[in-house]
Amino acid sequence: MLPNLLNECEVRELQSLISQAQNVVITCHVSPDGDAVGSMTALYHYLRRINKNVTMVAPNIFPDFLKWIPGANDIHVYDKNEEALEPTIAAADLFMFVDFNEPKRMEKLGDAVMANNSPKVLIDHHLNPTDFGSVSCSHPEMCATCEIILRLLLQLSAIDEITPEEATCLYVGMMTDTGGFIYNSSRSEIYEAIGVLLSKGIDKDKIYRNVFYTCTTDRFRLMGYLLYVKMKTFPEYRASLMTLTKDERKLFSCKNGDTEGFVNIPLQINGMRLSVFMREDTEKKNVIRVSLRSVDDFPCNAMATDFFNGGGHLNAAGGEVIGTMDQAEAIFKEALKKYAPLLRGVNVS
Ligand code: 5GP
Ligand code: MN
């Protein structure tokens, strides 16, 4: 049996906040990923089954390959419906924030939410949480926020009550944040958690296909283009860079989310320790979104903080550059120079 994550006092506090609330709003970070959508929907099902009014609000749209998740169709998108959502946000008597740890990760939705003084519960696995919730359930050792939520549900409700829908949502988050359990997933408790989810009847093979094997032809060709034409390698730094402009996106009718996962591919090259993918933001002008991935002990999050005004985990981090792609590329090269000793690495496996 999985050990308790919260102590008695924390469980009581969480239980009392939830039992006193009637109108709960759940939010996640901008550009929601599988863990964000899985966490929101799992909590949504749980809170509805204990008779709460629940509204899920994402700061902006989430990718099509997550739309099949049970409950995902009920997620409201803030930047498309600001005015319509304002009354619901103002009337919320409890907020639950999942998969992020600073209000700025909600962008404009953060301003609306923070203007309401109702209690806020933060459930997250990112490092260095800022203190902006009434109750903070921060566990960076967990592979996904969904793993934390499963552990909370096991403490808050009987295992028998967890539904197959909730289990499916939770599995999506754990699977996507570990790239299908190929990184950040060596704690044995993860597999005990998966055992619990399997006992609820999830179809893990179908979930994998639903998420990872639903490419459009355009996405496949874009992947080929990026790898063949755009990827630059820097063998002396054991690093690679891919860039994508808005015009190139158009060439492949590429939507938000269509580039998900591409940044991982160059790490399949023998000896590669760092892969960076930079793309022009689809919505904001003059903003380059940056994704960083690494293997072994190379700290992507440190590089993201130092050079890209971002952060994240040791092996997966992100940030942005305000400026042109050329400027972003120049910053990347500076970063390579500064991190050269760590990139060349001594702990080569
Ligand atoms: P992705 O490359 O998938 O956008 O982001 C990978 C991880 O980096 C995310 O799970 C998140 O932890 C972190 N991350 C991405 N963008 C940002 C950012 O702008 N700021 C911070 N602090 N972390 C980010
Ligand atoms: Mn996550």
Atom 6 in ligand 1: residue holding the nearest Cα: 317
Interval between CA 312 and ligand 1 midpoint (Å)? 5
Taking only the tens place, the pLDDT of each residue in 200-220 is: 999 999 999 999 998 889 999
The torsion angles phi and psi of 259, rounded to 5 degrees, stand at: -100, 0
Residue 257 has pLDDT above 80, yes or no: no
pLDDT attached to residue 310:
94
pLDDT attached to residue 349:
41
Residue 271's pLDDT band (cuts 50, 70, 90)? very high
Whole-prediction pTM value? 0.89
Residue 347 has pLDDT above 60, yes or no: no
Atom 11 in ligand 1: residue holding the nearest Cα: 312
Domain ranges of the chain: 8-212, 217-343
Interval between CA 210 and ligand 1 midpoint (Å)? 23
The torsion angles phi and psi of 245, rounded to 5 degrees, stand at: -95, 170
Residue 142's pLDDT band (cuts 50, 70, 90)? very high
Interval between CA 185 and ligand 2 midpoint (Å)? 13
CB 142 within 8 A of CB 125: yes
pLDDT attached to residue 141:
95
Taking only the tens place, the pLDDT of each residue in 150-168 is: 999 999 987 889 999 999 9
pLDDT attached to residue 346:
58
Residue 260's pLDDT band (cuts 50, 70, 90)? confident
3-state SS assignment for residue 321: strand
Q: Which atom of ligand 1 is nearest to the CA of 305?
A: 22
Interval between CA 77 and ligand 2 midpoint (Å)? 19
Residue 236 has pLDDT above 50, yes or no: yes
pLDDT attached to residue 258:
80
Which CATH number is 8-212 given?
A: 3.90.1640.10
Angle between helices 145-156 and 164-177 (to 10 degrees): 150
Taking only the tens place, the pLDDT of each residue in 2-32 is: 999 999 899 999 999 999 999 999 999 999 9
CB 243 within 8 A of CB 207: no
Pocket flag, ligand 1, residue 125 (CB < 6 Å): no
pLDDT attached to residue 157:
84
Strand bridging mode 120-124 / 94-98: parallel
Percent of the chain beyond pLDDT 90? 86
pLDDT attached to residue 348:
42
| Third-level CATH fold of 217-343 | Diaminopimelate Epimerase; Chain A, domain 1 (3.10.310)
Pocket flag, ligand 1, residue 311 (CB < 6 Å): yes
Which pairs from 305-312 meet CB under 8 Å and 24+ separation? 306/335, 306/338, 307/331, 307/332, 307/334, 307/335, 307/338, 308/335, 311/126, 311/127, 311/128, 312/126
Over the chain, what is the mean pLDDT?
94
Taking only the tens place, the pLDDT of each residue in 79-122 is: 999 999 999 999 999 999 999 999 999 999 999 999 999 999 99
Residue 195 has pLDDT above 60, yes or no: yes
Q: For 127, which DSSP code?
A: S
Residue 43's pLDDT band (cuts 50, 70, 90)? very high
Task: State how far the Cα of 89 lies from the Cα of 25, in Å rounded to an integer.
Answer: 7
Pocket flag, ligand 1, residue 32 (CB < 6 Å): no
